């Protein structure tokens, strides 16, 4: 299992990305929450409100998920970070595997 962390322009975009990934059975679950960010972009400091999102999935789905996010994300260069998970409660992992089984 891995977690993928990404940031979207707003909750609407986060929900759109999560819904597409769920439809494709590439993730079992997504969580998002509002955040405030400050960063440098194209030589300007940007103070912004965004939505952070965690996606829960299988290790071998990362590249497919990355591709889907890049296709529908509004950012020119979205943050997409893969986080490895060492341990997962067995029943939760079984559920995740069942929900992401592509037939």
pLDDT digits (tens, 9 = 90+) for 3-38: 999 999 999 999 999 999 999 999 999 999 999 999
| Residue linked to tokens 């494709």 | 24
CA 14 → CA 50, 57, 87, 92, 95, distances in Å?
A: 9, 16, 26, 23, 23
- Please give the biggest Cα pair distance in the chain: 48
pTM of the model: 0.94
Dihedral over Cα of 84, 89, 95, 98: its sign: positive
Is it the case that residue 103 has pLDDT exceeding 80?
no
For each of the domains in the chain, give its residue range(s) and CATH number, in order of start.
2-99 (3.30.70.120)
Averaged confidence pLDDT in the chain? 96
Q: Are 18 and 27 in contact (CB under 8 A)?
A: yes
Q: Which of 43, 19, 39 is nearest to 29 (CA)?
A: 19
């Amino acid at each position: 299992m891995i977690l993928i962390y990404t940031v979207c322009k707003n909750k609407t975009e986060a929900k759109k990305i999560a819904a597409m990934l769920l439809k494709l059975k590439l993730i079992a679950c997504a969580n998002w929450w509002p955040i405030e960010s400050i960063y440098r972009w194209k030589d300007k400091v940007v103070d912004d409100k965004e939505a952070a999102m965690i996606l829960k999935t299988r290790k071998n789905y990362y590249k497919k998920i990355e591709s889907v996010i890049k296709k529908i994300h509004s950012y020119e260069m979205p943050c997409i970070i893969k986080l490895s998970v060492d341990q997962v409660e067995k029943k939760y992992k079984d559920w995740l595997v069942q929900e992401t089984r592509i037939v």
